[in-house]
Amino acid sequence: MSLPARLAFSDVDETLIDCKSMFDFLDHYLAARYGPQGLRRGRRVREELTALAAGGTPREETNRIYYREWAGEPAGAAAEAGRAWFAERSARTGFYIGSVRDALTRHRAAGDGVVLVSGSFPAILDPIAADIGATHLVCSRPEVRGGVFTGGLDGEPVIGEEKRRAVRALLGRHPWIDPAHCYGYGDHASDLPMLTEVGNPVVVGDPALAELLPGARLLLLDGASAAG
């Protein structure tokens, strides 16, 4: 197999898929495992974290709070539930944002490495990465002891500046790749650190964000594009 000449980095939630996967999966998991009580708990978590974010709590902190909700849950059960969640959700029209999935498919066909970069976690992301043929997955990693989530993280949440560090670290392991030739796909201001590390940033669906990146391409949700 030839070595890739470029890497294409992509956020996941509301960039590649049309949902906030962490909340959607938490609802799915808790409802299946604990019934109506679990579903109410999932909704409570969503409401509390949404309120914190609206009040200015950094995404890095809300990410950590989210994973505390997984304390005591078996990692194997979460992985199994993630496969079931993906099979159910991906069968629905509109799960993938078609313009981004098509772009990543073209990258793969050109021999580029595809890298998913997300604050979500492997139970959710592994099936997506396998389905689109991603060569690397960089994400938040819940801490596991004795097969059970502790509620902590191994390392930092992959949000904001951590995305920049992740891109630099991966490029450091591929010294023959010029960052100026690489691509990045994101939809939110927290993706800016990642997008500014590559020569070809692509903003998904947000003209205001594209204006912050001179030369960025704006990828509209209907598949059209415009120069930034």
Domain CATH code at residue 108: 3.40.50.1000
Count of structural domains, the chain: 1
Classify residue 1: in a domain, yes or no.
no
**Domain of 129?**
7-227
Classify residue 18: in a domain, yes or no.
yes
Taking only the tens place, the pLDDT of each residue in 188-198 is: 999 999 999 99
Contact between 221 and 207 (Cβ < 8 Å):
no
Taking only the tens place, the pLDDT of each residue in 156-191 is: 999 999 999 999 999 999 999 999 999 999 999 999
pTM of the model: 0.93
Classify residue 117: in a domain, yes or no.
yes
Classify residue 2: in a domain, yes or no.
no
Classify residue 50: in a domain, yes or no.
yes
Classify residue 178: in a domain, yes or no.
yes
Contact between 102 and 22 (Cβ < 8 Å):
no
